[in-house]
């Protein structure tokens, strides 16, 4: 790599890819559908909603990879995605640097939750902002002084040359291939899905860019979304996120930004009935709703591309057995009382009331 302009080099490795799907009368898509070189500020001004800004960023990928490898060390036998990689090809110096970073992550981060731990959320958000930086301490550019803990900066900067040499090229290629594949689906179905999901959740699609970091490892569930600001992280390597399922996982994660009305309605009905709020009911409803709406979009009669993509698409929750892991009563209730709402045979309030009453 040419070290004369490291900031520019990393820009080339981690350039943002923006997919802007226009909501125009009649559901037609506008002409500004794809851009790989516009700045976020320009996209925000010109692109209609929904807009996903997909990134394959070096620092966010390194952070998640170190977290994954630390968990493989501290929790052997965890999920299939948390398995150690071979370090045989590393030199002695590289092994020392990589081991030091893993020791730091094992001691400080491996047991923390990527979604629910506030420090982990702040770290991920800050590393996303540092995407084009050659370092995190501000040596190369004042704007790249991340403000992260010195120990964390030392761990990441120490591991960076090793990761960049041995794993990043493969991870980045896979990330970009996944982005290209999901991009065609987003361009084709995005406008319709955004409109239908916003209507189903009785919410408004976010007016801001939805930042999506595509990574090799996206946590044990393969993807997660943090809010304030909305920040989606999806694994391109996870087997659950491939093919047409990539479209569903993108819009499921985006649906987390729309879920407030659903959560509030469930809580309100539970309080009125003196019932405890069923754990994860809103999340099961999110999987059910987004899966059903994506399935319908992919099966639209007369849509040749959709028919070719997934003539018999099975929603994510069913395909991966989520209802069998404690949500079986939710699945039955959703089929009985929420499905009529999605079919236009019930209103939002009565559907939520009947759903809560049945549990």
Reduced to 3 states, what is the DSSP secondary structure of residue 246?
Answer: helix
Q: What local confidence, expressed as pLDDT, does residue 51 receive?
A: 82
Tell me which residue of 307, 217, 299, 208 sits closest to 254, measured CA to CA.
208
Using an 8 Å Cβ cutoff, are 109 and 70 in contact? yes
Position 81 pLDDT exceeds 70: no
Residues 310, 331, 113: CA angle, nearest 5 degrees? 85
145: which DSSP letter? Answer: B
Query: Per-residue pLDDT for 347 more than 50?
Result: yes
End-to-end CA distance of the chain: 59
> What's the chain's average pLDDT?
85
Helices 150-166 and 92-108: crossing angle in degrees, nearest 10, is 130
| pLDDT of 42 higher than 80 | no
Per-residue pLDDT at 73: 87
Q: What percent of the chain has pLDDT over 70?
A: 81
Residues 6+ apart with CB under 8 A from 224: 114, 115, 218, 232, 233, 253
pTM for this prediction: 0.84
Give the pLDDT band of residue 29 (cuts 50, 70, 90). Answer: very low
Residues 70, 110: contact at Cβ < 8 Å? yes
C-alpha span between 29 and 43 (Å, rounded): 16
Residue for token pair 């009905």: 269
- Band (pLDDT 50/70/90 cuts) for residue 77 is low
Residues forming beta bridges with residue 34, ordered by sequence position: 19
The pLDDT value given to residue 207: 86
Question: Which residues sit opposite 210 in a β-bridge?
Answer: 52
For the residues of 269-324, what is the DSSP string, one character each? HHHHHT-PPPTTHHHHHHHHHHHHHHHHHHT-TT-HHHHHH-TT---HHHHTTSGG
Q: Which two tokens stand for residue 228?
A: 């304030």
Q: What is the dihedral of CA 305, 307, 311, 313, to 10 degrees?
A: 50
**pLDDT of 4:** 36
- Yes or no: say if 238 and 216 are a contact pair by the CB < 8 Å rule: no
pLDDT tens-digit readout, 224-260: 999 999 999 999 999 999 999 999 999 999 999 999 9
CA 28/CA 126 separation, integer angstroms: 36
What confidence category does residue 74 fall into, taking pLDDT thresholds of 50, 70 and 90? confident
Cα–Cα dist 222/167, whole Å: 19
Q: pLDDT digit string (tens) for 284-308?
A: 999 999 999 999 999 875 444 444 5
pLDDT at 25 over 60: no
Q: Which residue has the higher pLDDT, 29 or 44?
A: 44
- Rounded CA gap, 206 and 203, in Å? 9
Q: Is the pLDDT of residue 9 over 50?
A: no
Average pLDDT of span 186-191: 91
Tell which wins on pLDDT, 3 or 232.
232
Which of these ranges, 41-50, 169-178, 226-235, has the smallest mean pLDDT? Answer: 41-50
Between CA 177 and CA 200 the distance in angstroms is 31
Q: Write the pLDDT tens digit of every residue in 335-345.
A: 999 999 999 99
Closest of 351, 355, 348 to residue 202, by C-alpha: 348
pLDDT at residue 28 greater than cutoff 50: no
pLDDT of residue 75: 72
């Amino acid at each position: 790599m040419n070290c004369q302009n490291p900031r520019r080099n990393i820009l080339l490795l981690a350039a943002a890819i923006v997919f802007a799907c226009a909501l125009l009368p009649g559901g037609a898509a506008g002409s500004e559908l794809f851009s790989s070189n516009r700045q976020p500020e320009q996209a925000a001004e010109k692109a209609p909603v929904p807009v996903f800004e997909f990134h394959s960023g070096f620092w966010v990928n390194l952070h998640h990879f170190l977290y994954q490898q630390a968990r493989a060390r501290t929790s052997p036998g965890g999920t299939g995605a948390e398995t150690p990689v071979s370090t045989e090809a590393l030199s002695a110096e590289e092994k020392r640097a990589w081991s030091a970073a893993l020791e730091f992550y094992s001691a400080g981060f491996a047991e923390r939750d990527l979604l629910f731990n506030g420090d982990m959320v702040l770290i991920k958000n800050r590393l996303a902002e540092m995407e084009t930086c050659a370092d995190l301490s501000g040596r190369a550019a004042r704007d790249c002084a991340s403000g992260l803990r010195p120990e964390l900066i030392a761990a990441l900067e120490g591991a960076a040359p090793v990761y960049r040499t041995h794993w990043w090229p493969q991870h980045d290629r896979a990330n970009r291939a996944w982005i290209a594949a999901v991009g065609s689906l987003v361009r084709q179905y995005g406008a319709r899905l955004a409109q239908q999901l916003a209507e189903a959740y009785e919410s408004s699609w976010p007016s801001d860019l939805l930042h999506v970091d595509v990574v090799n490892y996206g946590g044990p569930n393969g993807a997660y979304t943090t809010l304030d600001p909305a920040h989606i992280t999806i694994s391109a390597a996870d087997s659950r996120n491939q093919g047409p399922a990539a479209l569903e996982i993108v819009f499921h994660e985006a649906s987390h930004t729309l879920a407030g009305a659903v959560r509030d309605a469930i809580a309100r009905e539970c309080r009125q009935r003196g019932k405890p709020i069923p754990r994860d009911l809103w999340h099961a409803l999110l999987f059910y709703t987004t899966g059903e709406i994506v399935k319908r979009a992919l099966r639209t009669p007369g849509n040749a591309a959709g028919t070719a993509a997934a003539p018999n698409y099975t929603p994510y929750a069913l395909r991966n057995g989520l209802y069998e892991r404690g949500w079986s009563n939710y699945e039955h209730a959703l089929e009985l009382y929420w499905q009529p709402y999605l079919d236009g045979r019930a209103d939002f309030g009565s559907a939520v009331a009947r759903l809560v009453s049945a549990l």
